[in-house]
Amino acid sequence: MLRFTNNALKTYWPDPFSDVPNIKILSFSQNELTEVTPDLFTNINTVQDLDISYNKLVTINAFDFKHLQYLKRLNLQSNLLKRLPVEALSPMKSLEDLDLSKNGIQDVLLRRTKVEVISSLKRLSLSGNRLRSIVKDSFPENNSIEFLDLSNNIIEVVEEEAFQTCVSLKELNLAQNNITFTFALPPTLQIAMLRINTLYHWPRFPSGITYIDLSYNRLSALYDENNAEFDNLEETN
């Protein structure tokens, strides 16, 4: 483990870790980095957990992470990114947890990308960005995402089939948006966080749902007859 958390790093020498090639956890959190380049990770392809949160990254280029094929967790929270760095993420065949919360990302169109999108990803956080809509092309075919956080955006539209490719999704957080109309939820879903929106009607929840939070919406009916029986429901708000 090697941490440089809460310093004033703005730049670095090429190949700075040549003498410590077996690092598994590396953190640059809370610094002033404006870019990362491939030569930062040249001799440390063993890294599994990389934290570059709370920096000033504006863009990430296609080859910046090309040496990190064994990375499992990447934290890019609280930077200045405007778009998903899909090309840069493609080499990470083992990535399971990606945090892109609190950036300025405006859309998610992973299904349309021409590069290979990570198939191993299980947790994706896009909370606190500038997303306005979630569409049927937002997520790749037959992805492995189990936890998806889209809370605290400005989402107004969620297309009916937006989550049809999320065949493993268990927990979905859409709290604190501006969603008015309902949409289809995947049959695997267990936890649905929909608080602080403008929903007038119940979404169609799957029968296996265990937790629903619909607080602070505009529902006028306690129950929707089109919903399945909630035999597994443990808690609702």
pLDDT reported for residue 127:
98
Output the six-digit token pair for 146. 């189990």
SS3 call for 110: helix
In a domain, 235, yes or no: no
In a domain, 199, yes or no: yes
**154 and 89, same structural domain?**
no
Residue range 190-222, pLDDT digits in tens = 999 999 999 999 888 998 999 999 999 999 887
Residue range 92-129, pLDDT digits in tens = 889 999 999 999 999 987 766 656 667 899 999 999 99
Instruction: Report the domain count for the chain.
Output: 2
In a domain, 119, yes or no: no
**95 and 1, same structural domain?**
yes
pLDDT reported for residue 174:
98
Phi, psi of 89 (to 5 degrees): -80, -20
Looking at per-residue confidence, does 180 or 230 come out higher?
180
Residue range 57-100, pLDDT digits in tens = 999 988 889 889 899 999 999 999 998 888 888 888 899 999 99
**94 and 133, same structural domain?**
no
Residue 157, C-beta contacts closer than 8 angstroms, at least 6 positions apart: 132, 133, 134, 135, 179, 181
The residue segments making up the domain with residue 153 are 106-112+124-139+146-229
**182 and 219, same structural domain?**
yes
**133 and 213, same structural domain?**
yes
The answer to whether residues 81 and 105 touch, using CB atoms and an 8 Å cutoff, is yes
Helices (H), 21-155: 86-89
| Residue % of the chain over a pLDDT of 90 | 61
Global confidence as pTM? 0.92
pLDDT at residue 232 tops 70: no
In a domain, 210, yes or no: yes
**97 and 170, same structural domain?**
no
Average pLDDT, the chain: 89
pLDDT at residue 189 tops 90: yes
CATH number, domain at 73?
3.80.10.10
In a domain, 117, yes or no: no
Q: Which of 1-15, 50-64, 122-136 has the lowest mean pLDDT?
A: 1-15
**225 and 129, same structural domain?**
yes
CA atoms in the 13 A half-sphere facing the CB of 92:
26
In a domain, 175, yes or no: yes
Other CB atoms closer than 10 Å to residue 153's CB: what's the count?
Answer: 25
